[in-house]
Structure 1
Amino acid sequence: MFNRMTVAGAAVFLAISANSARAEITLDVLYTTPGTFNALHQELAKRFTEAHPDIKVKFRNPVAGYEEAAQQILRDQITGRLPDVAFNGINQIGLFVDRGLGTPLDAFAAQDGGLATLGYYPTLATLGTWKSKLYGLPFAVSTPVLYVNTDLLTKAGIDVAALPKSWPELLAAGKAIEANAGTSVTGVYYQWEQTGNWLFQSLVTSRGGRILKADGCSVAFDDDKGMWALKTLEAFGKSGMPNLALGQARQSFVAGKIGILADSTSYVAAAERQIAGKFSFKTIVFPLAATDGKLPAGGNVAMVFAKDAERQRAAWEYVKFVTGPVGQTLMVNYTGYMPGNEIAVKKPEMLGDFYGKNQNHTTSIQQLPVLTEWTSFPGDNSLKIIEVVKNYTESLVTGKRAAEQTLPALVRDVTTLLPKCGG
């Protein structure tokens, strides 16, 4: 009797131990841009593990940007050390899926009632799809906006409510700002280098253009809209705009040295903290240059790279949390990016009251109806194409090339790197 009880008890103990061992999972998570996201991700992991004590979160050392993260993940595929969850640029989903990476999330979402029940904005959820399957959920979405130093505008006799809506007029306003500032300032700064191609794409789509044709492997900006975008970049250089790194431009703005800054909404919360009332500033919508103009949704999505079913389920729970109402409320308060979850926006105790009191954060929400895809360049040369676009853009804003020279050369070089359709 004693032996049978001992054996039975041992069997129960082993079963419980085995279930506990299976239940406790440590997720390997990669994110980018530590200066923006470090504190947020730590808080999200804390909140998640409090609600899910059987799932731990271990962060890899974060990398500087989306391109660096993509390169690391491609290396990880070779070494077999992929993260379970990664926060990638919206424009990189195709880069991974075409290489057999990424777990489709459609079935997981369906089991939890579907994307609408979970509260995702349909427009933003669509950005996470590739070839009709859902691979990413919107974590931190950005739109291009204008940051305006209203004190400098007032000195120049410009009413921010009547600020012009075209780039030539904005550059003229910038000159008036410089002339009346009483100190050395830059009237208009266009944050051209952001992710190497996002604000180039913003100009093209704001004019009603496209980056790639419907076939996905042919350039579409080899037209008057593409030329207009390049001429606009050239005009920034001719205006005397300095060539600053992204961080330098932001520091110049918060120091009161830039009148109008074209940048991502991702910087709103940090700008408010750093300006700390030293001057008044306001965000306003990015200028559309055509009635059918659109703006590419920037930022990042949460993707699952876990391979086995148990880890995928745990990874889904984490992705669902950070992109859900609680996670998105924290994300907005920490950063200024636009939330992908409508439940968070509609509930007063989450973001409803927040947006009512923080007008600089609402500009991104206002642009939701005009958002379009941040084009992903297909094929093995995706990251090379981004670098090519960045180099040509820099040559325009520094006055080394003219738009007429640049367009055919840029089209040629991008076309050479794109995969052949049907091949």
Structure 2
Amino acid sequence: MLDQIVNRLGPVLAGAAALMAIGATSARAEVTLDVLYTTPGTFNALHQDLAKRFTEAHPDIKVKFRNPVASYEEAAQQILRDQITGRPPDVAFNGINQISLFVDRGLGAPLDGFATADGGLAELGYYPTLAELAKYKGKLYGLPFAVSTPVLYVNADLLAKAGADASALPKTWPELLALGKAVEAKAGSPATGFYYQWEQTGNWLFQSLVTSKGGRILKADGCSIAFDDANGMWALKTLEDFGKSGMPNLALGQARQSFVAGNIAILADSTSYVAAAERQIGGRFQFKTVAFPLAVADGRLPAGGNVAMVFAKDTERQKAAWKYVKFATGPVGQTAMVNLTGYMPGNEIAVKTPDLLGAFYAKSPNHSTSIQQLPLLTEWASFPGDNSLKIIEVIKHHTESLVTAKRTAEQVMPELVKEVSNLLPKCGG
């Protein structure tokens, strides 16, 4: 009797076992990626949209976002804390200048093998210049997601009141400051003629002055400062001149809101805000972006913005993470990114395809300024060692003393050099 029951149930049990095996396989195959990004005001809608599109195409991979943080420095601090607890995110969209910070601490999966298996970076469409900036010690650790360059935001209407043409701006900072003063005198209402967003994350706009003069932040050894020269002094003196001109000291968000309200004539800022500025201005005045002034013909500009890095350790999670970062930084992902922000794409295919961004740039001159500066891009220097984030704060503190006219460049330079040098690790140590 028992044998008959077993024989009768055999096919049923076998089918059930097969279904269980399939279910187990599906359960093992499904991956939920833990993803961290920054600047929610800029990126919330974009990342939600990208995750939705991705999971529709890859139903076996889910995307779960951590609560986004406000800045790259906050993200870095969180990731380093997560390393201690063994819970770093699988994917993080973090500052281009932080790649070495993570890799030196054993975080970040090299992506060269994944890229090669998919035909290589050129075949995938990444700009060579930007892909190179995502490498560290010869290995690829990130893919460019949202890249920014420094530019001038110009209120052409305010300039016109001072008899100036936004299409023919001066090319030097002293001339721009003088023009700003002329605007203030003739605006007819309270206005700020010129503002420089000195407190941008990672000392980015301080670095922009140094590299635009042909200087460097770090020497070739990677752990000694290089801005203690004539180029660095020029950058500090330029910030001092901004302070002496009477330029107010505004928080980054305050300056942007003042510009879109029509109260700043010339604003030096990141292209990351272009799309938002256009939406907020809404045609109330003529808004134009102009290339960031170079102090010398061979000057360079640090590439700002963020890259997608993979922190997952497990092989299967790394494969899933690669698919996600490849999508977010690929032609479709980059098209969505550009349309929702003012950042420059890292993927050339998107820019050259008419149905993606080709037509967009043809009719969006304010966004095109960033693309035109692509050949000028250089590294956004990251300070090595355990004090990397602290050094950023030290430079920020000294920079503020200049733009508030409390100190001079001659007073700041020796103290800045000493403090930063004491926080850097010994080369080879």
Which of 227, 233, 237 is residue 231 of structure 1 equivalent to?
237
Q: Give the whole-Å Cα distance in 1 for the aligned partners of 2:340 and 2:118.
A: 27
Q: 2:364 aligns with which of 350, 358, 364?
A: 358
Kindly indicate whether residue 294 of structure 2 is the aligned counterpart of residue 254 of structure 1: no
How many Å apart are 1:18 and its aligned residue? Answer: 1.6
Residues of 2 paired with 1:102 and 1:212: CA distance? 23
- Give the alignment of 1:9-408 within 5 angstroms: 9-408=15-414
Name the aligned partner's letter for residue 19 of structure 1: T
Equivalent position SS for 1:187: strand
What is the rounded CA distance, in whole Å, between the counterparts of 2:94 and 2:194 in structure 1? 30
How far is the alpha carbon of 1:349 from its aligned partner?
0.5
Secondary structure in structure 1 of the residue aligned to 2:52: helix
Could you report, residue by residue, the CA deviation over 1:344-376 in whole angstroms, capped at 9, with x for unpaired residues? Answer: 000000000000111100000000000000001
Residue 428 of structure 2 corresponds to: 422
Correspondence for 2:3? none
Unpaired segments of 5 or more residues in structure 2?
1-6
Contact 1:149 1:258 in 2 (8 A): yes
Shift of 1:162: 1.8
Residues 388-420 of structure 1: per-residue CA shift (max 9 Å, x gap): 010000010001110001111111111001110
In 1, the alpha carbon distance for the partners of 2:121 and 2:84 equals 33
TM-score by length of 2: 0.98
Match of 2:4 in 1: none
Taking the aligned partners of 1:291 and 1:285, their CA distance within structure 2 comes to 14
Q: In 1, distance between residues paired with 2:202 and 2:57?
A: 38
Distance 1:19 1:355 in 2: 46
DSSP-derived class of the 2:258 partner: helix
Percent sequence identity is: 80
For 1:347, the aligned partner's letter is: T
The answer to whether the 8 Å contact 1:377/1:418 transfers is yes
SS of the residue 2:92 aligns to: strand
Please say if residues 268 and 336 of structure 1, whose CA atoms lie closer than 8 Å, have aligned partners that are also in contact.
Answer: yes
- How many residues matched? 423
Letter in 1 for 2:104: D
Secondary structure at the aligned position of 1:197 is classed as helix
- For 2:8 and 2:303, locate their aligned partners in 1 and report how far apart those are by CA, in whole Å: 68
Mind listing any 5+ residue stretches in structure 1 that lack a counterpart?
Answer: none
Secondary structure at the counterpart of residue 88 of structure 1: strand
The structure with the largest alpha-carbon Rg is 2
Q: Is the 8 A contact 1:95 1:382 kept in 2?
A: yes
1 CA distance for matches of 2:414 and 2:66?
A: 42
Worse-matched range after superposition: 326-335 or 155-164: 155-164
CA–CA distance in structure 2, aligned partners of residues 364 and 23 of structure 1? 41
Given that 1:26 and 1:55 are in contact with CA atoms closer than 8 Å, whether structure 2 keeps it comes out as yes
